[in-house]
Amino acid sequence: MSLLGTGFLTIFSFVFLISIVVVIHELGHYWAGRVCGVHAEAFSMGFGPTIASWRDKRGTVWRIAAFPLGGYVKFLGDAGAASEPDSEKLEEIRRRMGPDAERCYHFKPIWQRAFITAAGPLANFILAISIFAALALAFGGQPYQPPVIGTVAEGSPAAEAGFQEGDRILAINNNRIDAFQDIVTEVIWRPGEMLDFSVQRGESEILLRAAPEPTVVEDQFGGSRTLGRMGFGSLSTPPLRDSYNPITAIGHGIDRTWTAISMTSRYVIRVVTGRVSPELLNGPVGIATAAGQTAVSSVEAGNNAGESTVLLLINLINLAGFLSVGLGLVNLLPIPILDGGHLVYYAYEAVARRPLSMKAQALGFRVGLVFVLGMMLVATWNDLNYLLGQIF
């Protein structure tokens, strides 16, 4: 594929993914606000100059902007991401707004404001469940390989720990293992970390301890990552593919979403506490790179234009499910400029019976901004290192 075609696909795929997950996130806030009687002054799909806009019967202005990279919802009285009004500011707002204060976000009970805030990440999780359930219903589940060891590489961490062919791994660090892919998922992001493996060998259950070996792994696009490897393989028998009905498909969607939430949250906690390398953190550049790689490989895998288009949409929608989980989790971090930070403020207000002072909120905002920018710098550094590894 030409460089121009690759660039176009990358941009299209990135915009497609970001637009879906961010707009759904903001719609979660919007619908929760409607349920609680909060007036939404505007809902924007994208940023920048307005291309088209209209006002609905509730008085909300809906707009389509020039740069389709997400969007936002603006509630009546919304003070922005930096702070929530303190008691003095609230009184001033109430006097100025008069009767309209009843439709203002800030004068709703704490539980309603918390619900509206949490509804954005919740919408992302619902989107992920819906995507994984729909794909399972349409195409069947992921290929299933039982968590049984088929091969053990000589001199590998698995061999040194005493793993044998035929061992069935039941849990890793008390996290249940149901399929061989679960083993890979638990191991790859923990290079060098000592892990406890609960193993069934014959009629007995034993405990083996081993640390995955840090291994530089090149992908099909020429980039490389340092991942954990144990040195054992799965059985050589062909994997099974499950079929689903609407009920079991939803269960599959919930299970897959929960697995992504669990793994991502545990990795982020370990990064923040300094227990694992932040090498696997990705930012916007990394998302764009993954989107472009997924798009190009999908198009090239098709035998004709129609097949390539179908593969492109399927794989991008599947990637949107994982990105939606990531966005939901990031927004729940207890950082003041994020949804999770507002939930912390509401928890304080519920206990203290008054909002946190504007001065304390402003300080929290600055600290949170520094933390988020720091993580973005680390993620962007990782993304650039990966891209440079593809070139040199």
Give the residue numbers marked as catalytic: 26
| Contact assessment for residue 252 and residue 244, using Cβ atoms and an 8 Å cutoff | yes
Alpha helices (H) in the chain, listed in sequence order:
3-35, 87-97, 110-139, 157-161, 180-188, 246-272, 284-301, 305-331, 339-352, 358-391
Cα(189)–Cα(177) distance, integer angstroms: 16
Neighbours of 97 (CB within 10 A): 16
| Contact assessment for residue 65 and residue 47, using Cβ atoms and an 8 Å cutoff | yes
Positive/negative CA dihedral, 349, 351, 354, 358? negative
Q: What is the DSSP letter of 280?
A: G
Q: Nearest CA to 239 among 168, 143, 140? A: 143
Cα(51)–Cα(190) distance, integer angstroms: 47
Long-range CB pairs of 22-26 (<8 Å, 24+ gap) are: 22/69, 22/70, 22/71, 22/327, 23/70, 23/71, 24/123, 24/124, 24/127, 24/324, 25/120, 25/121, 25/123, 25/124, 25/327, 25/328, 25/331, 26/70, 26/71, 26/72, 26/73, 26/120
What's the token pair of residue 53? 């806009």
Contacts of 273 by beta carbon, 8 Å cutoff, 6+ apart: none
Cα(333)–Cα(338) distance, integer angstroms: 7
Length of the chain: 392
